[in-house]
Amino acid sequence: MRMKSSIMLGLTFVIVSSIITRITSDSQAEELLERCSRFKVTTDLSIFLGSVNKTLGDMRKQLSNAQFATTYETDVFGMAQCRNYLSTADCLACFDAGVTQIRRKCNAVVDAAHFIYQGCFLRYGIHNFYKEITFENPVLVCSYNQSVAEPSIFSPIVQGLLTGIVAATPKIKNYFAAGKRQVFSNGATLTVYAVAQCVETISQSDCRSCLTRIYTNLKTCLPQPGGSFAEAGCFLRYSDSSFFAESHITNITPYIGGSSSAKRLIPGIVGGLCFLFLIIASALWYQLVRKAKLAERGDVLRVTQLQVPVIYRYRDLKSATKSFSQDYKIGEGGFADVYKGITETGDVVAVKKHALTSDKAKADFKNEVRLISNIHHRNVIRLLGCSHKGSELLLVFEYMANGSLDNFLYGEKHGTLNWKQRADIILGIARGLAYLHEEFHSCIIHRDIKSSNILLDDGFQPKIADFGLARLTMEDRSHEISSKYVGTLGYTAPEYAIHGHLTEKVDTYSFGIVVLEIISGLHCTDVKIESVNNSLLDYAWKLDEDEKHLDLVDEKLDPNEYDTEYVKKIIDIALMCTQLPASRRPAMSEVVVLLTS
């Protein structure tokens, strides 16, 4: 009966989706992205099919009253969004077109689907993607088959309009803005239309960083008359043709303007808020460590949408780890051990147990909680909650099924990663570091990037972990901090290890070393080939000088899997990241561009 009901639900959706109303403007139905992904479905297939259909059905109901929808059924998360200038009928038509295309192009049931149009997008998957703002291959579409009359005038108009709506959109309640700008030149009128939109489940800072990044990419379309850029968390479009009604134009002046007197007040307000934040943070920390007030039991894997960690009952986590059994132990460090935990609801988590026997251990624990409580990025490990008993403090993280990267490079699983997995891991680490350095509200320097601190989920998506040594920097990122050296020899930049000079380029250096390890399958200090200092970096530079880049590639890799020129390019990028002085190293955002261009 369960299978029959799922099949009936599937047939119903196919029939409903095939009888759709046309979207009023063909441009709104232009498809920008179609993606069908397969992962491992852990539930019964009939239950999963029913959840997919219920998710799609519930989102359609929500779109009848709003432009944004999220829903969750058993093991299936869903999200859909229409551009705010679409009518309800056009919004539903766009959504229905997407459902139809999913049924048609994905052929069979898949575990995740993401379809983006000019007028809307819809997405479902088996993991919680509500906070995601990036995905591997963002979508850029330019109108290359057309041209504008006066490019030298048109381009500045577009940039001026886009700059305004990108600045305003994160400050608007539903993260949407539409604008129009006209200029008269040589007896003709040049008109530009633009919209910006973020998904409503991300933070204001994530909306801002997402739009700022895609604006930089969208500018490459100029002076073409139109362009669109779509990311997981935001969308930006401009055109010399109208694609929305005048009534939907947003007055962005209140969000980007302001008097000089108001601007003079900002530093004082910010300073006051920072002081207030410190007081609140101190109070919260006191409650956590000294009073250990316990919150009501919650589903650990559902708290990731909160901006602060949830306090869980110590006895629940002790039970989840079988009293911190050695059989459940999955990692250890100088001040903490990590255990696999299985909660009463069946959720799998990682529990990091700190024994606060020293001031150093206490400082590391406090640092880790403070830094990663508000970090939400697909390539950075997520903190789910905390617990406390006596001298023991516990951190609860999302569980990484495949453990740490070093085990796949030169550990027990050496040689099991194929080239595509390695390339994806390199790009994922770069994106995670770019987020920490440039997209988070403060620049975070990790200080201990190494293969053992890169964790892999069940799809081999990399996550940067272990923030015990991380540091926040000044807003002026060119500022060099003098700091006592902490980290791991072999991965640490010379200017930091020797002189204590700390900038985000220290992480860039470590990233370059990790990339060389990923390509070679060798540990950075355990090279079995003669080199000047018996180091992987020296060996890589020597091969570069001799133009023998490919001698560095892991012998376990199948040569038919990779393009030799792309491998050389990645090796060159890794060496760029290890250059001296530090100023010659690229920013991590530049590394992401180099890897994806």
Cβ atoms of 197 and 169 closer than 8 Å: yes
Residue 336 to residue 392: CA distance in whole angstroms: 10
From 90, 364, 406, 448, active-site residue: 448
Residue 190 to residue 151: CA distance in whole angstroms: 10
The DSSP secondary structure of 337-378, one letter per residue, reads EEEEEE-TTS-EEEEEEEE--SHHHHHHHHHHHHHHTT---T
Exposure string of 400-422, with b = 16+ CB inside 10 Å and e = fewer, is bebbbbbbbbbeeeeeebebebb
Cβ atoms of 214 and 116 closer than 8 Å: no
Residue 449 to residue 512: CA distance in whole angstroms: 10
Tokens of 55: 């998710």
- Asked if 448 is an active-site residue, the reply is yes
Residue 202 to residue 151: CA distance in whole angstroms: 36
The DSSP secondary structure of 185-221, one letter per residue, reads ETTEEEEEEEEEEE-TTS-HHHHHHHHHHHHHHHGGG
Residue 560 to residue 575: CA distance in whole angstroms: 24
CA dist list (Å): 36 to 39, 74, 106, 108, 496: 10, 19, 6, 10, 44
Neighbours of 514 (CB within 10 A): 27
Residue 119 to residue 29: CA distance in whole angstroms: 6
Q: What are phi and psi for residue 316, nearest 5 degrees? A: -65, -40
Residue 289 to residue 281: CA distance in whole angstroms: 12
Contacts from 70-75 at CB under 8 Å and sequence distance 24+?
70/130, 70/201, 74/43, 74/47, 74/48, 75/41, 75/42, 75/43, 75/47, 75/48, 75/51, 75/126
Exposure string of 361-399, with b = 16+ CB inside 10 Å and e = fewer, is bbebbbbbbebbbbbbbbbbbbbbbbbbeeeebbbbbbb
For residue 254, cis peptide bond before it (omega within 30 degrees of 0): no
For residue 223, cis peptide bond before it (omega within 30 degrees of 0): yes
Contacts of 224 (CB under 8 A, 6+ apart): 142, 143, 144, 146, 147, 148
SS3 480: coil
Centroid of chain to Cα 357:
35
Q: Which has the closest alpha carbon to 313: 302, 291, 298?
A: 298
Report angle CA 448, 452, 453 to the nearest 5 degrees.
50
Tell me the catalytic residues.
448
